[in-house]
Amino acid sequence: MPEKITRTLEQWRRQLTPEQYRIAREARTEPAFTGEYCETRTDGTYTCVCCGQALFESGSKFDSGSGWPSFSKPADEHNVDAEVDRSHGMVRTEVRCSRCDAHLGHRFDDGPRPGGRRYCINSASLKLVEKPDADGTT
């Protein structure tokens, strides 16, 4: 299990942009089709914007048409926690970074087979670490 990272709200505010803080620390959602990674096709690893933990690989990213980056599975099941979210008059499964508890987005059971899961993630909660090309450049 990864070591937990805890910071004060003020420390998070100093580290993150206002949008990143609002989404990752206050569990808000960015508007559909506005996130930096919604249409990205770059190879690499999507890490937590707060703590840098690997969350999703580009190979599991797919176009769900939802307006948010969507992934079929986490990079490692231990890196993403799931809990029931009853906000906004709905019952959904919220996903958070297991290391720092950052809000990432939600998980749905309408994804591609074989797993059938769709991790609908806010771009503002992510940082893409590009995979180097064969010559070592990104």
Name the DSSP class of 132: P
d(C-alpha 89, C-alpha 4), whole Å: 31
Q: What is the pLDDT of residues 90-131, one digit of tens each?
A: 788 999 999 999 999 999 999 888 889 999 999 999 999 998
Question: Helix (H, G, I), strand (E, B), or coil: what is residue 122?
Answer: coil
Fold of 9-130: 2.170.150
Cite the beta strand spans of 12-133 per DSSP E: 44-48, 54-57, 61-62, 70-71, 80-85, 92-97, 103-108, 118-121, 126-130
Domain ranges (residues) in the chain: 9-130
Query: Does the annotation mark 120 as catalytic?
Result: yes
Residues 123/46, Cβ–Cβ less than 8 Å: no
Q: Which of 48, 51, 97, 120 is catalytic?
A: 120
Q: What is the pLDDT of residues 12-71, one digit of tens each?
A: 999 999 999 999 999 999 999 999 999 999 999 999 999 999 999 999 999 999 999 999
